[in-house]
Structure 1
Amino acid sequence: MLTLPPWLQRQTQGVVNCYACQKLVSITAPTCTHCGSQQPGLWGYGRHFRKFHHQGGFLALITWGCVALYLLTLLVNVRGVRTEMPLEILVPDTSSLLMFGATGEIPLFTLHRWWTLLTAAWLHGHVFHLGFNLGWIRYLMPLALDFYGAARLVVLYTGSAIVAALLSSVVAHYGSGLPPLLQGAYISVGASGALFGLFGALVAHGRQTGSKALEETMALYAGLGFILGFTLGSVDNWAHLGGFLGGFALAYVPGLRSRQPQRLYEVVLALVCLGATALSLVVSVLHWWWIQ
């Protein structure tokens, strides 16, 4: 008999914690008797969602996903791996990054690979780039998870990454006459746009709840990040700005505000974000093979 892996196995009887109010409810109940949320057991996958939330599932997914994709970009063209600066160690070949979904003006406007708005945040340009971004994400994400919940966190992170990539690519396409320091990216990878989205969302949470310490601390970190970006080479500053603005704006969308019970549509939207990202990675590789 074929046995499904644990994460695909549904609970069909007993009780589960409602994903919205966390109170016990029958797994078969169509509506939570405590808060009125629809499908409180998430069709039998409520326990998996609870583990995803409380065990930092999205953080683990980002960490291992980024590491795995970085290694893949190195392995598909080992001869193209290079070191360009003291900090830029083990830089994947540009074609490898494009294969797995690098974004920017060229992928979007020349190659018309619009799905790379979803994939680029999972790719990185060198070891320091990967370690720096993941270090900050591991610091910020538990805070954002506590304030927003797992489903909203996925939506905020994904939305910020999209806005970051789009703004940088549009500036590069239409602002070619700008000074080099103010131009967008022709090819861009990295989670820093989504990372700045977490800064923006946390600043918004501080403003909404009156937590001046949180608001000022996150704004200070983001400001230092902008300054650092302008002092280092090969940094996509427009993506940082787009990510920050995207995270800040999304945090004011009524359905995504912090400190509210999570709703069914938010869980579904988070699943759509994760599914669309995974599909975009597959499409990116297949399309690259097709056009070569």
Structure 2
Amino acid sequence: MTDPDRPVAIPAVPRPKDRPGRAPAPETTSTYRLGQGPLRLPLWLRAVILACCLVEGLLLAAPLLGLGSARAVSLMLGGFWSPLLGGGTGLYPGQGAVMFLTYGLLHAGLLHLAMNMISLAAVGRELTRMIGAGRMALIYLASQIGAGAVFALMQPQAGPMVGASGAVFGLAAALVGHAAITLRRRRRSMAPLVRAVALILGLNVALTLLMPSIAWEAHLGGALTGLALGLIFAILPRRA
């Protein structure tokens, strides 16, 4: 019986006899670890996606249970309200601080949820390969806080603001920043990166024009925070 955690040596495939006048090809072996598949999303990221889906599912089901005001209550308790940072009084102690965490778990419907969760999974998988799960979690949290802070600064009387897009833009910007440093070090073309940045910016502008209710200020705040951390982590070496 083979131990699944033990590397298995796979012999090289036999080759035809070498032609006269050519040096014989060296015999090589490769190593394959059983059970090693595509990179999975970090546990914390899967938990965030699951929490967002559960919250939206409960809010969609609430009217069927006679709780038609559930979404309004969730916005009042968990949405981001800029006036709370300008001296406003919350509905419970510490709401002005707690809302920086809770607003990212709320969404304005299935389309809003789907767009953010699909983007989060796609960007999160690639960024995990670059910087690891721990650093990515820090970027996600910082970007969500930065998104709320910039939104409050630019829209001091607005609210409620909900959604994980600020944090998602933070991860995307961190990916761009980290990739830019890496490509520059390896002296590779940055054309694909420029196209990716142009696509992200174009999508954000298009969504803002088509859906005026989108909080582009939060996107900006999250992106600036994520970009700064992505550049920092690209410079700092990773610990083994």
Pairwise same-fold verdict (TM > 0.5): yes
Name the counterpart of 1:80.
Answer: 68
The runs of 4+ residues in structure 1 deviating greater than 6 Å are none
**Structure 2 unmatched ranges of 5 or more:** 1-38
Name the counterpart of 2:126.
Answer: 143
Relative distance call for 1:107 and 1:125 in structure 2 (3 A) is: farther
Relative distance call for 1:102 and 1:251 in structure 2 (3 A) is: same
Relative distance call for 1:142 and 1:237 in structure 2 (3 A) is: same
1:259 Cα deviation after fit: 8.3
Whether the 8 Å CA contact 1:229–1:237 is kept in 2: the answer is: no
Instruction: Tell me the distance in 2 between the aligned counterparts of 1:221 and 1:160.
Output: 20
Name the counterpart of 1:224.
Answer: 202
- Amino acid of the residue matched to residue 126 of structure 2? L
Whether the 8 Å CA contact 2:140–2:167 is kept in 1: the answer is: yes
1:159 Cα deviation after fit: 0.6
Instruction: Tell me the distance in 1 between the aligned counterparts of 2:198 and 2:80.
Output: 28
Instruction: Give yes or no for the alignment of 1:207 onto 2:180.
Output: yes
Name the counterpart of 1:70.
Answer: 56
Name the counterpart of 2:229.
Answer: 250
Instruction: Give yes or no for the alignment of 1:192 onto 2:175.
Output: no
- Give the TM-score of the pair, scaled to structure 2: 0.69
CA root-mean-square deviation: 2.7
Relative distance call for 1:141 and 1:199 in structure 2 (3 A) is: same
1:138 Cα deviation after fit: 1.6
Relative distance call for 1:145 and 1:200 in structure 2 (3 A) is: same
1:98 alignment partner, one of 48, 68, 76: 76
1:193 Cα deviation after fit: 0.3
Name the counterpart of 1:237.
Answer: 216
Instruction: Tell me the distance in 2 between the aligned counterparts of 1:97 and 1:258.
Output: 40
Whether the 8 Å CA contact 1:117–1:165 is kept in 2: the answer is: yes
Name the counterpart of 1:22.
Answer: none
1:220 Cα deviation after fit: 1.9
Instruction: Tell me the distance in 2 between the aligned counterparts of 1:139 and 1:199.
Output: 10
Relative distance call for 1:213 and 1:144 in structure 2 (3 A) is: farther
